[in-house]
Amino acid sequence: MPARTIDAELFNARVPNGRRWLLWFLYKVLWRTVFGLVIGLRYVWAKAPHPDGPVIYIANHNSHLDAMSLMTIVPSHRIHLTHSVAAQDFFGRSRFRSWSMKHLVNAVLISRGKEERDEIDPIVLLDAMLRQGHSLILFPEGTRGVPGVMADFKRGVGHLASRHPDIPVIPVYLDGLYRTLPKGRTLIVPFGGTLVMGDPLSFPAETSIDAITEKARLAIETMEQDLLEENKIPSSDSP
C-alpha cells in the first residue's frame, strides 16, 4: 500500500473537535485524577522541557494501565495526535475491544506475527504516522513481561528513530502499576506506583538500528536503578 494512501486515509491531523475534547477529558481530567488521587501514582518529571512536536515515547511494560498512564503525561494539545501501539491479535479480538482501543485509548493496532502482515509492514504504517506529525507510545519489550525483569527490546524503536533523527525519543520507567492491575485481572486496586519521565534522547542520522535500540534500553534500565537507589531503605546501623 503506498505511503501517501496510508497518510490520507488513516492519519489526517484534522481530528474532529468532539474526539479531541473527549481524549482531553479522559486523560487530563479523568485518568489523571484516577492515577494521582485514587491509585496514588507518583510522577517524576524530566528536567528538560517537553518537546513541542512529534515524539516517540518508550516504556517498560507490565500492566494494561501503562498506556493510559503515559497518555496523562502528553501535552494537552498533542493528546489527539498521540497513539499507543498495541497488538491486533489481542486487542482486536472483538469489535467492542477494537473500537475502545481506537476511540478511547487512541491506539493503533498492529500485527505482531509475520504471517499476519498481509496488507502492510507495521514499521511502514508507524513511519507514515510520524511523517504526518503524530507521536507514538511504544513498549519495546513487545508484551507485558515479568515485573522487575526487563526483557530484550525489539528493534522497532531503532527502525523508527533511525528514519526520523529529528524526532526525540523520550524514555519512561513505570514501577508498581503491575500491582494495581496485575496481568489476568480486571479489578484496579490502589497500590500506588511511580512514573519516571526521562530527558529526550536524540540520535544522529548515522546511528545504527542496534545502537539506538541498545541505548534506549539502557536509558530505561538506568532510570530503574536510580529509582531503586532512591527507594532503598537505610540499614539500621546508619547514622
Which of 76-90, 118-132, 135-149, 207-221 holds the top average pLDDT?
207-221
Query: 88 lies in a domain?
Result: yes
Q: What three-state secondary structure class fits 174?
A: strand
Q: Of residues 6 and 107, which shows the higher confidence score? A: 107
pLDDT digits (tens, 9 = 90+) for 105-136: 999 888 766 655 456 788 988 998 999 899 99
Query: 63 lies in a domain?
Result: yes
- How many structural domains is the chain composed of? 1
Q: Which of 7-21, 41-55, 87-101 has the lowest mean pLDDT?
A: 7-21
**Residues in Cβ contact with 139 at an 8 Å cutoff, skipping those fewer than 6 apart:** 58, 59, 60, 61, 66, 85
Handedness of CA 91, 107, 99, 30 (dihedral sign): positive
Give the pTM: 0.87
pLDDT digits (tens, 9 = 90+) for 25-68: 999 999 999 999 999 999 999 999 999 999 999 999 888 899 99
Q: Which amino acid is at 198?
A: G
Query: 95 lies in a domain?
Result: yes
Residue 11 has pLDDT above 90, yes or no: no
pLDDT for the residue 81: 92
Residue 18 has pLDDT above 90, yes or no: no
Query: 193 lies in a domain?
Result: yes
pLDDT for the residue 113: 64
Query: 212 lies in a domain?
Result: yes
Look up the domain containing 131 and give its range.
50-231
Provide the b/e sequence for 28-64 (b: ≥16 CB within 10 Å): beebbebbeeebebeebeeeeebeeebbbbbbbbbbb
pLDDT for the residue 170: 98
Residue 232 has pLDDT above 70, yes or no: no
Residue 203 has pLDDT above 50, yes or no: yes
Name the band, by pLDDT with cuts 50, 70 and 90, for residue 97: confident
Query: 180 lies in a domain?
Result: yes
**How far apart (Å, rounded) are the C-alpha atoms in residues 224 and 212?**
19
Q: DSSP character for 79?
A: G
Residue 23 has pLDDT above 70, yes or no: yes
Q: DSSP character for 151?
A: P
**Backbone dihedral angles phi then psi of residue 5, each to the nearest 5 degrees:** -70, -40
Give me the helix-helix angle, 122-131 and 3-10, nearest 10°.
60
